A = this chain, B = another copy of it.
Amino acid sequence: MIEMKSVYKTYKRKDVTTEALKGIDLKVEEGDIFGVIGYSGAGKSTLVRLVNYLERPTDGEVIVDGQVLNHLSDSQLRAMKKQIGMIFQHFNLLESKTIFDNVAIPLVLAKKPKEEIKQRVMELLDFVGLREKAKSYPRELSGGQKQRVGIARALASNPKILLCDEATSALDPQTTQSILQLLKRVNQEYNITIMIITHEMSVIQEVCNRVAVMEAGEIIEEGSVLDVFGHPKHPTTKNFVKTVIHNSIPESVKRSLKKTGDSKVFRVEVKGEVASEPIVHQVMKAHDIEVNILFANMTEIQETTLVIMYLQIAGEASAIEKAVQFLKDKGAGVEEVVK
């Protein structure tokens, strides 16, 4: 649906040159909810702005829905953009129009009948919880309320592609949840392709099926969310994953960790069905060892459970070895942690 082929974007002003994108190759399939994460300034917004051609690539090709944007005429581009909804990082609402009119604009541009517009807009405002603000002006709204207006506006014309640039950054977790659920719903019901720029891993975890990690204008890791979250390779990715999958031992636990001579610490990772079995119990019952759960975390990614535990196992060397083998047989990933 969206494809980028070695795309470069360089900003120049006098002697200052910023290479925002350095050779991006990317493929977003139809029906994907594609997440893009990365540090501030990594080039995420620039990337997404290329997709609806608000920014022209310095080099390379952007292909949307099979059409190379660089080759389209102005009116073809406009027709294409009508299919693409965009939620802006800075909202970009019209100060001179009411909330109602702001959300109605894409429909007015599409010359929809008045009755239909009214109905659709009120439906959307209802959804984002701003029905009673219909007659207010943007300056009278809180930050999160403005962002919700932006979301409603982007959804108004039932686009085929939805680009979200930090669409939930100003929203509390509950509102974020409901927005994400909506995105998931429109994705499933209408097969809309969604590209989500965010710095909140939890957002990606919640709704994306694929994710790309950007750093300094490049994509450093890409893949299915389960893969990338389960086995992050690049240090940056690891840093990001850490924020949702708390897989490091809390400092306070580390400090009070008893350094008994014959205890060892293991990182145990369990995925899917096994996660609901009492494996800690089983390993303890079956072997002559003492197990202390230093750290445990369960996360749900794409409706699969991922458990990460740090177990301190004390006992004889052979008993510990057997216990580890038992866990491995159960399908768990086990790694010894060097203290």
Contacts and interface: CB of A to CB of B under 8 A. Distances in A.
A169 B293 CA distance: 34
Nearest to A20: B142
Interface stretch (A23-31, A181-189, A302-310, A326-334): A302-310
Interface in A238-286: 239-240, 242-243, 246, 250-253, 256-257, 273, 275-278, 280-281, 284-285
Given A40-B171, A278-B291, A290-B278, A298 B298 contact: no
Interface string A1-18: 000000000010100101
A30 to B, nearest CB: 27
A199 B168 CA distance: 11
A191 interface: no
Given A140-B13, A276-B257, A281-B292, A170 B89 contact: yes
A162 B178 CA distance: 32
Interface string A153-188: 000000000000110011111110000000000000
A298 B297 contact: yes
A324 interface: no
Contacts of A293: 278, 280-281, 293, 296
A276 B253 contact: yes
Contact of A298 (B136, B246, B285, B291): B246
A305 to B, nearest CB: 5
A257 B277 CA distance: 9
A181 to B, nearest CB: 14
Contact of A252 (B18, B41, B175, B276): B276
A260 to B, nearest CB: 11
Protomer copies? 2
Nearest to A141: B41
A305 B252 contact: yes
A201 B290 CA distance: 35
Contacts of A140: 11, 13, 18
Contacts of A16: 135-136
B170 A166 contact: yes
Contacts of A136: 16
A232 interface: no
B172 A39 contact: yes
A97 interface: no
A147 B90 CA distance: 12
Q: Top 8 nearest A-B pairs by Cβ distance? A: A40-B144, A278-B292, A296-B296, A172-B199, A256-B276, A173-B243, A89-B143, A252-B305
Given A40-B172, A252-B303, A278-B312, 15 more contacts: A13-B140, A16-B136, A37-B172, A40-B143, A41-B142, A44-B142, A45-B142, A143-B166, A172-B199, A173-B200, A173-B201, A174-B239, A253-B276, A277-B292, A280-B280
Interface of A: 11, 13, 16, 18, 37-41, 44-46, 89-90, 135-136, 140-145, 147-148, 165-166, 169-175, 199-202, 239-240, 242-243, 246, 250-253, 256-257, 273, 275-278, 280-281, 284-285, 290-300, 303-305, 309, 312
